[in-house]
Structure 1
């Protein structure tokens, strides 16, 4: 109708709310989440690298197995896979081992010890700063896929003298076997009397330690430092 007035509700959107800065607790929570995200990403990269190495070694073993399909020459693919594997190993050697060998041997197999372990010839060594009993020391080494140090020759004896500095007493992988009452290394070999003088021992002093380049005996519950030993990883 001409005389009617029509009313309508207009929904005018309001201004967007002004974002407020996070309070300190929210900022701390956000920082923690970011830090954990970085840690998770780094851990994921380590797992991925380990998986790649494992897969590459499995492929190489399968490829060289006699009578297997992977062991037969199948043309360019086999050649390319082998080249890729060797290239990957070369990158690992350059990144992990080149600092321990001459430039002329960077592309040859190298020996690698875990972080904080010391490489010497064909062994990795880890001298402790804490003290434990003989059995606790061996348990510590065993949990790290190693054992208490076994000294086999004069050159190794001199090296142990350097890393222990002949100041403290360190447990070694040496004990008295019964009923023979002979000093035996953890590897089963007997103490070489040309290398060490057999230690004097009193009752219940059945565990061997090293100090001042000499073997000493003590009760196995005594607490000393210790040296772990393991074979290096070959890359």
Structure 2
């Protein structure tokens, strides 16, 4: 018939003819009593899960930030935790740590302390004159000690083995003399042993000892750190 609209109910196989939670003969849905509490619990669990995901994301971000090196204008250096503070040092029983390039830097395998670089020969022994030559080849000189703090540092690094330093008797009748002719402070450096011609001084962890300059010891070179 023209102008008439036909309506038909579409029923799928297995589909119920009643709306969810609607019992037979009822006009309003009647859901089980546990339905709403279950929805509330589900909502709380979802919220807790979301908060846990956010917390893990923030924690991961902070951990990654700690691993990223920060920029600094200070020179790179390897430092020790000893009382000598800003020194590039290692225990006396171990090989010296390398000083990295930068302002106030030292060559590889040298120790940096208070603006100076120190080279300790390890497992190699020479006479005093040959030790002096080695230092010259390294653009440095045998160690000259001028202050108490430097003296303490050298004792700490020398350990139980004697090392030649730049202190000797240059001629008969002369007193102990530094290689650069700087004043000798007997209170600062008290030398034990004989005193005479062809006598040179070596240092260990506790004292300064004089011996024949032809004796074989390890040695310490010294020079200013690069600015």
TM-score, normalisation: structure 1: 0.52
Indicate yes or no: 2:166 matched with 1:173: yes
* The structure with more radius of gyration: 2
Q: CA 1:95/1:199 → structure 2, altered by over 3 Å: closer, same or farther?
A: same
Q: CA 1:128/1:203 → structure 2, altered by over 3 Å: closer, same or farther?
A: same
Indicate the residue corresponding to 1:97 in structure 2. Answer: 75
From 137, 140, 143, the counterpart of 1:146: 140
| 1:187 CA drift (Å) | 1.6
From 128, 131, 137, the counterpart of 1:134: 128
Corresponding residue pairs, total: 134
Q: CA 1:227/1:95 → structure 2, altered by over 3 Å: closer, same or farther?
A: farther
Q: CA 1:216/1:205 → structure 2, altered by over 3 Å: closer, same or farther?
A: farther
CA distance in 1, matches of 2:115, 2:217: 26
Deviations 1:135-159 (A, max 9, x none): 1101011001001111111100111
Mapping of residues 20-39 of structure 1, within 5 Å? none
Indicate the residue corresponding to 1:111 in structure 2. Answer: 104
Indicate yes or no: 2:199 matched with 1:201: no
CA distance in 1, matches of 2:140, 2:181: 15
Indicate the residue corresponding to 1:39 in structure 2. Answer: none
The higher-RCO structure (CA 8 Å, 6+ apart) is: 1
Q: Which runs of 4+ in 1 moved over 6 A?
A: 93-96
Mapping of residues 53-132 of structure 1, within 5 Å? 97-99=75-77, 110-129=103-122, 130-132=124-126
Indicate the residue corresponding to 1:156 in structure 2. Answer: 150
Indicate the residue corresponding to 2:85 in structure 1. Answer: none
Structure 1: 5+ residue stretches without partners: 1-92, 102-108
RMSD of aligned residue pairs (Cα, Å): 2.5
Structure 2: 5+ residue stretches without partners: 1-70, 80-101
From 178, 195, 203, the counterpart of 1:185: 178
CA distance in 1, matches of 2:196, 2:225: 38
Indicate yes or no: 2:188 matched with 1:210: no
CA distance in 2, matches of 1:96, 1:221: 44
Asked if the contact 1:201–1:218 (Cα under 8 Å) also holds between the matched residues in 2, the reply is: yes
Q: CA 1:96/1:139 → structure 2, altered by over 3 Å: closer, same or farther?
A: farther
CA distance in 1, matches of 2:172, 2:212: 18
TM-score, normalisation: structure 2: 0.53
